[in-house]
Amino acid sequence: MKLWPKSLFWRSALLIGSLLVASQIVLSVVFYVFVQRPRLEFAQDLTLVYLDNVRAALVALPPVAREKFLNDVDPESDLRVTRENPKTDASTIARQPLVRVFVRDLQARLPRGERVIVQETPISALWVSLLVNGEPYWIVVRLAKIRVDGNTALMLPFAVSLLLAALGGVLIHRSLNRPIAQLQSAANAIGRGERAPRLAIDGPNEVAALSNAFNRMAHDLEAMDAERRVMLAGVSHDLRTPVTRLRLALEVNGDQLDEHIRERMLANLRELDSSLAQFLDFARSERDEAAVDANLVDIANECTANYEAQGHTIALRGEQARARANTRVRPQAIMRALTNLIDNSLKYSQGQIEVEVITGTSDRGPALVVRDRGVSLHATDFELLRKPFVRTSESRSGVAGTGLGLAIVDRIAQLHNATLSFTPREGGGLEVQMQFPKRTTS
C-alpha cells in the first residue's frame, strides 16, 4: 500500500491516531445516546410543561390583566412572553447541532398550529408560539440559556488525548529507535569487518532479548573468524618452512637436474609461496593498523615502484591529483589491496597495466583505479569474485591462484567505507575502482 508509511514512527503515529479517532467516535455516539439524548428529552419535557403552565395562566387572566402582565415584562429579560412576532417567519438553522436536534424534536411534540423559530439577529433566541383562545403569543428564550457547546465539549478532550498519545508515541519511538539504531550501527560494523561493540542489555524484554542474541551472534562470528585466521596463519607458516627448504635444496643441487625441470620446480615453489603469502594476508587483521592521513599518490608511487624493480611495467597516471588525493586510510592495508589488484592483472593480462589516482570532488573522495587488458568477465562474476576461495571459470583454466586476492581487496574497501566496482573495458580487460568516501571536516 503506497499510502502506508515505511518508518516505524509514522506507522505508530498513524495507528495511534486512527485508534484515537475511532475511540472518540464511539465515545461521542455513546455519550449522545446515553447522556445528551436523555438530557434533550428532559429539557423538551420541561419546556412543554412550562408552555402548558403559561398557557393556563394566560387563559385564567382577564384581558386587561393579561395586557398589563405583557407590558410589565422586561423586553431584555432572558425569558419573556410577548405578542410581538419574530423578525421572520423562516427558522434560521441553529449553529449548534444539539440545538438543532432540540428544535426539531420540540417542533414534533407541539400541538398543531404552534411552531418553533430560531433567530440569530438581533439576538440569538428561540421563539415558541402559543395559542391562547385563538390569539398567538410567543415565548422568547435566549439561546445562551439553553445552548450547549458540544463541539468544545468533544474537541477539547480529544485534542488533549491526541497530544498525550503523540507524546507517548514519541517516547515509545525513542525507546525503540535507540536500540535499533545501535543494532544497525553494530551490524554495519560487522559488515565492514570491524569488531562490533556490545549492545546494552536493557529496555523492554523483547529489545533486551534481541540485543542479547545479537551479542551472542557477534561473539560467535568473532570466534569463528579468529579460529579461521589462526588456522590459515598456522598452516601457511608451517608450510613455508618446507617450501623454503625445497627452494634452498634446488638452489644448491639444481645443477644436478635438467634445466627445464629445475625451472619448473622453482616456478611451482614461487607459486606455492605466493599462495601462502595470500593466506597470510587473508589471515591478517587490517584493524590492527591505525588510520592516518595519507596521500593515495604516494601509496600508488611506492607500490608501482616495487613492481618496476621486479621488471614489470606499470603505467601510473593521475600524479597531478596529489593536491586533492589526501584521505584517512590504513596505508599498509591500501598497499596490500593495490598489490592484489596488480597481481591479478599480471596473472590475467599481457602487460598494459595502468594505475590511476582520481582527484576527489565536492561530493566524493579520491579513488584508486587499476586497468588491464586481460580476460573479460561477465557481470554475474563480479559479486562472486568478492567471496574468498571463489574463482571464475576462465581463471580456473590454466592460471594458478587461491581466489583470495579480490576477497582481501573487498574486505579492505569495506574497512575504509570505500566502494569497490568492476567495469568491463571496451576491447577486453577490466577496470577495478576503489572509490573512497568524501572526507568530512570537523
Residue 342 maps to a domain: yes
Give the whole-angstrom CA distance, residue 45 versus residue 23: 32
Residue 320 is part of a domain; what is its CATH number?
A: 3.30.565.10
Give 441 or 440, the one with higher predicted confidence.
440
Last residue of a domain, one of 116, 148, 180: 148
Domain carrying residue 350: 289-435
Q: Please, which pLDDT band fits residue 395 given cuts at 50, 70 and 90?
A: very low
Per the prediction, the chain carries an average pLDDT of 79
Q: Compute the C-alpha angle 273/274/276, nearest 5°.
A: 65
Residue 195 maps to a domain: no
Cα-flanking dihedrals φ and ψ of residue 418, to 5°? -95, 155
Q: Please, which pLDDT band fits residue 442 given cuts at 50, 70 and 90?
A: very low
In SS3 terms, the chain reads as CCCCCCCHHHHHHHHHHHHHHHHHHHHHHHHHHHHHHHHHHHHHHHHHHHHHHHHHHHHHCCHHHHHHHHHHCCCCCCEEEECCCCCCCCCCCCCCHHHHHHHHHHHHHCCCCCCEEEECCCCCEEEEEEEECCEEEEEEEEHHHCCCCHHHHHHHHHHHHHHHHHHHHHHHHHHHHHHHHHHHHHHHHHHCCCCCCCCCCCCCHHHHHHHHHHHHHHHHHHHHHHHHHHHHHHHHHHHHHHHHHHHHHHHHHHHHCCHHHHHHHHHHHHHHHHHHHHHHHHHCCHHHCCCEEEEHHHHHHHHHHHHHHCCCCEEEECHHHHHHCEEEECHHHHHHHHHHHHHHHHHHCCCCEEEEEECCCCCCCCEEEEECCCCCCCCCHHHHHCCCCCCCHHHHCCCCCCCCHHHHHHHHHHHCCCEEEEEECCCCCEEEEEECCCCCCC
Residue 81 maps to a domain: yes
Rg (CA), the chain: 45
Question: How many Cβ atoms sit within 10 Å of the Cβ of residue 60?
Answer: 9
What pLDDT digit, counting tens, does each position of 121-144 carry? 777 788 888 888 888 888 888 876
Residue 389 maps to a domain: yes
Give the whole-angstrom CA distance, residue 400 versus residue 267: 11
Q: What is the mean pLDDT of residues 58-87?
A: 83
* Region class of 423: left (phi > 0), else alpha (psi between -120 and 50), else beta: beta
Confidence (pLDDT) at 403: 64
* Region class of 122: left (phi > 0), else alpha (psi between -120 and 50), else beta: alpha
Last residue of a domain, one of 90, 120, 148: 148
What pLDDT digit, counting tens, does each position of 243-255 carry? 777 777 777 776 6
pTM score of the predicted model: 0.50
* Region class of 235: left (phi > 0), else alpha (psi between -120 and 50), else beta: alpha
Give 421 or 407, the one with higher predicted confidence.
421
The C-alpha cell that represents 264 in the structure block: 619448473
What pLDDT digit, counting tens, does each position of 289-346 carry? 888 999 999 999 999 999 888 888 899 998 888 878 889 999 988 998 999 899 888 8
Residue 426 maps to a domain: yes
What pLDDT digit, counting tens, does each position of 73-102 carry? 887 788 888 888 887 655 556 667 777 888
What pLDDT digit, counting tens, does each position of 15-49 carry? 777 887 788 788 888 888 888 888 888 888 988 88
Cross-strand partners of 432: 370, 422
- The answer to whether the CB of 427 falls within 8 A of the CB of 373 is yes
Residue 85 is part of a domain; what is its CATH number?
A: 3.30.450.300
What pLDDT digit, counting tens, does each position of 154-169 carry? 667 777 777 777 777 7
Question: Is the predicted pLDDT of residue 113 greater than 80, yes or no?
Answer: yes
Residue 229 maps to a domain: no
Confidence (pLDDT) at 192: 66
Last residue of a domain, one of 148, 179, 200: 148
Say how many domains are in the chain.
2
Give the whole-angstrom CA distance, residue 71 versus residue 375: 115
Confidence (pLDDT) at 391: 60
Residue 419 maps to a domain: yes
Residue 112 maps to a domain: yes
Give the whole-angstrom CA distance, residue 237 versus residue 429: 35
Cα-flanking dihedrals φ and ψ of residue 423, to 5°? -135, 120
